[in-house]
Amino acid sequence: EAGVTQFPSHSVIEKGQTVTLRCDPISGHDNLYWYRRVMGKEIKFLLHFVKESKQDESGMPNNRFLAERTGGTYSTLKVQPAELEDSGVYFCASSQFANTGELFFGEGSRLTVL
Amino acid sequence: AQSVTQLDSQVPVFEEAPVELRCNYSSSVSVYLFWYVQYPNQGLQLLLKYLSGSTLVKGINGFEAEFNKSQTSFHLRKPSVHISDTAEYFCAVSPGTYKYIFGTGTRLKVLA
């Protein structure tokens, strides 16, 4: 069974440009999450989808970040325009249930904004 | 609100020696506790979790952790480490939701 897959693994862009990160959850997992780790700091929650609906986006830093989950399958996280402080590793995770047990994480997408 | 403290940012240890990675948390409600590991160029992998029951939890790859409610700790231990255990380890808590609160991570470096 395929795990959570993320693309790209690493992206380097200039300040002001746009980047779109993609996440494919484990098949059958209705719950999808985005987390972010800024260099050297803790991994922080960004948002939670149940199928195609945003359940909780309380962790999104500002309106330059837009997350979507078309048809309840894969999800994208767009940063537009990117700023230096957006650099970090963006993790996607999925789970069958939202309130117990384990989140299954992808390898992360490393974003470097120059 | 919850918080997690991993005081050791880096821990060097010789191969076959024991290791303890420390994790302390703060919470006004009951929490679930987790240890995740990130090997180089890989995603976060669950090592072990405490949801309820026995306070000594055994995980994969010979790791174990003990939940100590009075000291609000969940330290990770392994009696004998291998080179392959070199990775970054994250402690996390959850009040029973998907909003995990992570520590800043501990880089374990196993030396030959």
Interface probe for A, chosen from B10, B25, B44, B101 (most Cβ of A below 10 Å), is B44
- Is B89's Cβ below 8 Å from some Cβ in A? no
Q: Are strands A109-113 and A88-95 parallel, antiparallel or unpaired?
A: antiparallel
Among candidates B43, B98, B103 on the partner chain, residue whose Cβ is nearest the Cβ of A42: B103
Q: How far apart are the first and last CA of chain B?
A: 41
| Reported confidence tier of residue A100, pLDDT bands at 50, 70, 90 | low
pLDDT in tens, A8-32: 999 999 999 999 999 999 999 999 9
CATH annotation of A1-9+24-96: 2.60.40.10
Phi-psi region of A58 (alpha: psi -120 to 50; beta: other; left: phi over 0): alpha
The domains of chain B, with CATH numbers, are: 3-111 (2.60.40.10)
Closest Cβ opposite residue B100 in set A3, A41, A45: A45
The length of chain B in residues reads 112
Q: Are strands A65-68 and B3-5 parallel, antiparallel or unpaired?
A: unpaired
- Chain A residue with Cα closest to B99: A45
The domain locations on chain A are: 1-9+24-96
Contact A91 B90 (CB under 8 A): no
Quick: pLDDT tens for A33-51. 999 999 878 999 999 999 9
CA gap B66, B76 in Å, rounded: 7
**Closest alpha carbon to A36 in A14, A57, A15:** A57
Establish if B29 touches chain A: CB-CB under 8 angstroms. no
Chain A residues within 8 A of B42 when measuring between CB atoms? 107
Q: Tell me the per-residue pLDDT of A50-85, one tens digit each, with 9 for 90 and over.
A: 999 999 999 999 999 999 998 889 999 999 999 999
Is the bond into A25 cis (omega within 30 degrees of 0)? no
Cβ distance of B45 and A108 shorter than 8 Å? no
Tell me which residue of B108, B90, B99 sits closest to B23, measured CA to CA. B90
Picking from A26, A74, A79, the residue whose alpha carbon sits closest to that of residue A49 is A74
- Kindly state the percentage of chain A with pLDDT values over 90: 84
Q: Beta partners for A76?
A: A22, A68
Closest-CA residue in chain A for B40? A107
pLDDT (average), residues B30-37: 92
Average pLDDT, chain B: 93
Sign of CA dihedral A15, A79, B42, B9: positive
A106/B51 Cβ within 8 A: no
